[in-house]
Amino acid sequence: MSKTYTISDLAQEFGVTTRTLRHYEDQGLVTPARDGINRIYSPRDRVRLKLALRGKRLGFSLGEIRELFELHDLAGSERRQLEEFSVKLERRRTQLEQQREDVEVMLNEIRFFATQCQRRLTEADTPKAPVSDSAA
Amino acid sequence: MSKTYTISDLAQEFGVTTRTLRHYEDQGLVTPARDGINRIYSPRDRVRLKLALRGKRLGFSLGEIRELFELHDLAGSERRQLEEFSVKLERRRTQLEQQREDVEVMLNEIRFFATQCQRRLTEADTPKAPVSDSAA
DNA sequence: CATTGCTTTTACGTAAACGTCAATAACACT
DNA sequence: AGTGTTATTGACGTTTACGTAAAAGCAATG
């Protein structure tokens, strides 16, 4: 009843190849239904794909992403799992906060570089000003 | 005159293996001097390593990191290179801003999960409340 | 009805980033 | 002189995340 998608629909929408989608299925990230032999993706699959791609941008492995999904679907699990996962989450949070800082620093660096480049490109002369080393 | 480091000094400090450091040397990220056959790392190498690891955390490949270093050391290059690089920087900036948003979203997700986990662990009963699907 | 287009599975290939020996060499003791 | 630690250079292995090519099945379309 709700909308469905073909493999190339989603591939195109998210800028990945169909191979990638099949690979993600192999890895258990999406579980499209079948129309005979053809894959049919649900809105849920679409959401998962979106989440998976975000995970990837953040450096999660496909395995880790699958773990997250599994734990998201967990609903009736046991204490042990939750405890383990709680620890994993904490580690990830620390990493993400580090990453947030990294991003800020890098954005500043890039802004600096960009203006440097721009200056050099506009005032196409006064050629001898070396670039400083921004260490720390 | 300024401080130097052995390969395992830096490996330990940054939590990587010596193999990694040699690999980074192969990839042109660091260029330690030699005492006979042994590697001697300068503060400059140390800084580079630090920057390289930050780059890695942000998803840069070793090749891209090397490019950044080369362009950092550039000082007397030609217009073409600068223009090309300017474009690359723009792309990266866009990616990083995306990444910043990703991090924020994911941190919120994690905070949500964490409190969920905590609730379950403290009030070890009232077992039947499924987890909602936070899509978008 | 043959071609074009999209799909499927199977399977080998590959690039990146190291891991993991192995064999060897240089010191540091004791 | 022997033992241990840390270093070196190969060189092959491994994991992840797909790429790519082959062979084949439906479906619409000229």
Instruction: Give the contacts of A21 (CB within 8 A, at least 6 positions apart).
Output: A7, A10, A11, A30, A39, A49
Q: Model confidence over A42-95: pLDDT tens digits?
A: 999 999 999 999 989 888 899 989 988 887 776 555 555 666 666 777 777 787
CA contacts within 13 A on the Cβ side of A59: 19
Between residues B14 and A117, the one the model is more confident about: B14
> Would you say residue A33 has pLDDT above 50?
yes
Residue A130 domain-assigned?
Answer: no
Query: A114 CA to chain B: closest CA distance, Å?
Result: 6
Does B89 share its domain with B53?
Answer: no
**What is the reported pLDDT for A25?**
97
Whether B102 and A59 lie within 8 Å, measured CB to CB = no
Query: What's the CA gap between A71 and A73, in Å, rounded?
Result: 5
Residue A135 domain-assigned?
Answer: no
Cβ within 8 Å of A, B 1-40: none
Does A39 share its domain with A78?
Answer: no
Does B6 share its domain with B56?
Answer: yes
Instruction: Give the contacts of B83 (CB within 8 A, at least 6 positions apart).
Output: A121
Q: How far lies A62's CA from each of A52, A58, B70, in Å?
A: 8, 11, 32
Does A26 share its domain with A48?
Answer: yes
Mean pLDDT for chain A overall: 80
Distance B38 CA to C20 C1' (A): 21
Q: Is B38 helix (H, G, I), strand (E, B) or coil?
A: strand
> Would you say residue A30 has pLDDT above 60?
yes
Residue A13 domain-assigned?
Answer: yes
Whether A135 and B59 lie within 8 Å, measured CB to CB = no
Identify protein residues whose C-beta is within 7 angstroms of any atom in strand D: A 16-17, 19-20, 23, 27, 37, 56, 61-63; B 6-9, 18-19, 22, 37-39
Does B55 share its domain with B80?
Answer: no
**What is the reported pLDDT for B69?**
87
Does A50 share its domain with A80?
Answer: no
Task: Express as a percent the part of chain B with pLDDT over 90.
Answer: 40
Does B35 share its domain with B86?
Answer: no
Taking the C1' atom of D9, which residue's CA lies nearest? B37
Whether A57 and B59 lie within 8 Å, measured CB to CB = yes
Q: How does DSSP classify residue B90?
A: H
Contact in structure between B14 and B53 (CB atoms under 8 Å): yes
What's the burial of B74, exposed, middle or buried (CB within 10 Å: 0-12/13-18/19+)?
Answer: middle
Q: Which of B113, B1, B96 is nearest to B54 (CA)?
A: B96
Query: pLDDT-based confidence at A124, cuts 50/70/90?
Result: low
Does B95 share its domain with B50?
Answer: no
End-to-end CA distance of chain B: 57
**What is the reported pLDDT for B76?**
53
**Domain count for chain B:** 2
**What is the reported pLDDT for A7?**
97
Does A41 share its domain with A89?
Answer: no
Residue B38 domain-assigned?
Answer: yes
Contact in structure between A22 and A10 (CB atoms under 8 Å): no
Per the structure block, which two tokens stand in for B86?
């300017």
Residue A132 domain-assigned?
Answer: no
| CATH number reported for the structural domain that contains residue A28 in this entry | 1.10.1660.10
> Would you say residue A123 has pLDDT above 70?
no
**What is the reported pLDDT for A62?**
95
Residue A100 near chain B (CB below 8 Å): yes
Write out the residue range of the structural domain in which residue B42 sits. Answer: 1-60
Does B41 share its domain with B2?
Answer: yes
Instruction: Quickly count: other Cβ atoms within 10 Å of residue B104's Cβ.
Output: 12
Distance B40 CA to C24 C1' (A): 20
User: What are the start-end ranges of the H helices in chain A?
Assistant: 7-14, 18-26, 43-57, 62-72, 79-122
